[in-house]
Amino acid sequence: MSTELDAASIARVSLHDPNCFSIQHSQTLHRLVLLQHWNITAGSRVLELGCGQGDCTTVLASAVGEQGSVVAVDPADLDYGTPYTLGQAQGHISQGPLGGRITWVQQPPLDYISSLRASESKAFDAAVLAHCLWYFASPSIILSTFRALKQHSQRLLLAEWSLMATHPSAQPHLLAALAQAARECRKPESASNVRTVLGPKRLTELAVAAGWQLESETRVQGGEGLLDGRWEVSACLSPSFEREVEEQVSDGRERAVILASRDACEASLEGVEGGRKGVRAMDVWVASFV
C-alpha cells in the first residue's frame, strides 16, 4: 500500500470535517514522513508524550500493528482544543479500528513517568515527542523529562520545527514562532502553541545531558498542505497579539523587541506569493537517540 493510501485511511480514523479532509490528510501524511526516519517496528511498545488530539497517535498505532501498543499522554484538559476538543478527538479514535491499541492518559508527562515502577525499566521500545516540545514550560522541564525517560525507554524519538526555512515562503512561520516565544516567555503562565522555543542544537544538548546519545538526525520540509505556518502567522499578526504585548510587557525596550519581531513577520509576507495564504511551514528536525 502506498504512503498516500496509508495517509488517507489513517486520516479517516481521526475526527475531522469531511469538507476539510485535506487538512487532516496533510497532518497524517506529515507524521508518516516522520515515521520513515524512526524505524518503529510492528509489535513495538510506544510511549507518546504530548499526544494532543492524536494526529501522531494514529500513525504510531498503525505502525505498531495489532500486537503493539501506544500509551498516549497529554496534560491538557479534555475540553481543550478547537474545532474539536481533546476529549472528542480521542474518544472518536478510541471507537475506531486503531482504538484497541491506544491507552490515553490525561496527566503531565513527568507525573506519568514518575508513576511507572522501577521494575518497569525499559518498558517501552520508544518514547515519541512529536511537535510538542515547544509546549513545555521551560528547558529545565524538558531536561527532566528526557532524564526520566532514560530509565523507561530504549529509544528517544523527537520531531520539532527546526528554525530553518528552506522554502522562502516558510520564513514568516519562523519569524512568527520567534515573535510568539518572545511574548510568551514574559508571562508567568502560557496557553500558547509556542511557549519554549528550542532548535535542534539545544534540544540535542538537553538529550545528551540527560544521558542519551544521538543516533541519527535529518531535516524534512513540510508539505504544501501543512497549514501550521499559516496558523502561527495569523496568531502573530492578530490584534490580540499587539494588545497583549502592550498590556503585559512594561519595559519599553522589551516591548519594542517583541513588536519588531512581529513586524518582521508581517514584512516577510511581501516576498510570499499569495500573502498569508501562500505561507508554508518551516522545515522539521527529526532525530533518534539511544
pLDDT digit string, tens, across residues 83-106: 899 999 999 999 999 999 999 999
Q: Inter-axis angle of helices 3-11 and 55-64, to 10 degrees?
A: 120
Kind of pairing between the strands at 284-289 and 156-161: antiparallel
Tell me, what's the pLDDT at 1? 37
> CA nearest 241: which of 224, 219, 263?
263
pLDDT tens, position by position, 208-240? 999 999 999 999 998 889 999 999 999 999 999
* Distances 92 to 32, 89, 199 between C-alpha atoms, Å: 20, 5, 33
* Residue 154 CB contacts under 8 Å (≥ 6 apart), including other chains: 122, 124, 125, 126, 290
Indicate the pTM of the whole model.
Answer: 0.95
